[in-house]
């Protein structure tokens, strides 16, 4: 079997997840190098995963002829620059979301990718979750008829550090961006308008940092489907991820995952496991599946199912939600 040489840029939490999957679980993938500006982080990941080459300068990975694809897991403010550098070096690109926090910067990076003719896959891993993927298939096959309403709930177990909040781009661009993409993915259409309400109900420090920690966004799709997304930075019971799509012939629900499926019924009530702790545990299957697609696209010269346009639209939706929050009105959405 042909092997695809790959390099990972960024040795943090998500970088190590992708590196581990590439190293041990994906046929045809050959992880040859990892890079991080923090030298010890890069060397620690290399020791843990037996990665043969380590660099503190990601540019060294782009110069290597044995690397065909780059997996970008560095800080958000570096994504667009590295995308452009990788494209100009002729490397195929997987990039964690978002591509950038500024729309013109995203458009510029996508222009460079298009000119270079390389592949770009954006890390909206939830599309690859087995349950969400099956929901998409059921909708497309007409099992629930004409969709009417989509509801998405995403609630984190605890707020992120304030230092992270300050550089994240805010709840709409950091957290709800996944739900914006999931709504588009499941309904298969673009939105025409949205309305956002939100506040800081959990941690006053988040408000002082200029962000919110609780929000609801109402969506109206061009095909008439209505949607509602609610986000919260804190729950008392784990990582809460649920979806419901209601249509003319039925309803699809996707519930939460728990460590086991055991439910105890007795005279005291009904008891089960608390939810999985956070996204690493909840979405481990989808992280593997999205990286399998990236490798297969390189091997078979195919285009990724989620690309630069999806990354651009999700950020545009985030800014539309922010505008709506500030103006307290519906915002018409342009996606061309």
Whether pLDDT at 115 is above 70: yes
Residues composing the chain: 336
pTM: 0.95
Judge contact between 211 and 200, C-beta under 8 A. Answer: yes
Distances (CA, A) of 238 to 20, 241, 255, 256, 304: 25, 10, 13, 10, 32
Query: Is the pLDDT at 203 greater than 70, yes or no?
Result: yes
pLDDT score at 276: 82
For residue 305, the model assigns a pLDDT of 98
Going along the chain from its start, the domains and CATH numbers come out as 4-118 (3.40.50.720), 129-283+314-332 (3.30.360.10)
Q: Mean pLDDT across the chain, nearest whole number?
A: 96
Cα-Cα-Cα-Cα dihedral sign, residues 236, 276, 183, 317: positive
Nearest C-alpha neighbor of 20 from the set 287, 332, 266? 287
Q: What is the pLDDT of residue 1?
A: 63
């Amino acid at each position: 079997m042909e092997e695809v040489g790959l390099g990972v840029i960024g040795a943090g939490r998500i970088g190590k997840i992708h590196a581990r999957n590439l190293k041990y679980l994906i046929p045809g993938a050959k992880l040859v190098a990892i890079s991080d500006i923090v030298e010890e982080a890069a060397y620690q990941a290399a020791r843990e995963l037996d990665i043969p080459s380590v660099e503190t300068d990601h540019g060294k990975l782009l110069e290597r002829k044995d690397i065909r694809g780059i997996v970008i897991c560095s800080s958000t403010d570096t994504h667009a620059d590295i995308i452009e550098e990788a494209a100009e070096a002729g490397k195929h690109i997987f990039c964690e979301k978002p591509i950038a926090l500024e729309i013109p910067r995203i458009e510029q990076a996508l222009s460079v990718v298009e000119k270079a003719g390389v592949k770009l896959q954006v890390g909206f891993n939830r599309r690859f979750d087995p349950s969400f993927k099956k929901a998409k298939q059921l909708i497309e096959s007409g099992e629930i008829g004409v969709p009417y309403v989509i509801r998405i709930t995403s609630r984190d177990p605890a707020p992120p550090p304030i230092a992270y909040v300050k550089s994240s781009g805010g709840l709409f661009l950091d957290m709800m961006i996944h739900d914006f993409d999931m709504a588009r993915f499941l309904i298969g259409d673009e939105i025409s308008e949205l309305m956002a309400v939100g506040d800081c109900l959990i941690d006053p420090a988040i408000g002082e940092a200029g962000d919110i920690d609780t929000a609801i966004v109402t969506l109206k799709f061009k095909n008439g489907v209505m949607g509602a997304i609610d986000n919260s930075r804190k729950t008392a019971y784990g990582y809460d991820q649920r979806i419901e799509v209601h249509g003319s012939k039925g309803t699809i629900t996707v519930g939460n995952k728990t460590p086991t499926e055991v439910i105890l019924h007795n005279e005291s009530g009904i008891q089960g496991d608390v939810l999985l702790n956070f996204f690493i545990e909840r979405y481990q299957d989808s992280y593997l599946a999205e990286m399998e697609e990236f490798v297969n696209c390189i091997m078979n010269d195919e285009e990724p199912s989620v690309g630069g346009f999806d990354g651009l639209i999700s950020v545009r939706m985030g800014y539309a939600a922010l505008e709506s929050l500030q103006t307290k009105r519906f915002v018409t959405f342009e996606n061309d």
